[in-house]
Amino acid sequence: MTVTNEALDYVNGMAEKRGYVLPYHKLMANADMDVLKAANGLVAAAYTDQRLLSKATKELIFITSLTVLKASPGHIAAHIRVALDLGVSAQEILEAIEITLPEAGVVTFQHGFEVWADVVGAEGIEPTVSAHDSTK
């Protein structure tokens, strides 16, 4: 398929408004603009258009819900980056991901946590004793 000016303009507009474009947006712009526009209209009404919730709050909600849904790491990372760009701290984002623990469990939390750690460059610590030494 040939990329049209309309498709390119639309994807560029999405990138400017959202701060990211997902792989499926790029593919849909070239495959089915009508459905992409319809889906993007729903997203605009619920997410990108300014209403009562701040953009930062919406990003935290998105990060939490995407973590619970075990969305692709790239999708979660895109929203983490937008939140950081909006001034949300890495610690606030982690706290939002931690909300998944009581209701969705450790495996779900770990999914979002690993994406967060990668995006923010979190560093862990290594124990100075081996696991078998810790039983003494």
pTM: 0.81
pLDDT digits (tens, 9 = 90+) for 118-136: 999 999 999 999 877 555 5
Q: What's the topology of domain 51-124?
A: AhpD-like (1.20.1290)
DSSP reduced 3-state for 123? coil
**pLDDT tens digits, 41-70:** 998 899 889 999 999 999 999 999 999 999
With b for 16 or more beta-carbon neighbours within 10 A and e for fewer, the 38-69 pattern comes to: eebeeeeeebeeeeeeebeebbbebbbebbbe
Q: Where are the domains of the chain?
A: 1-49, 51-124
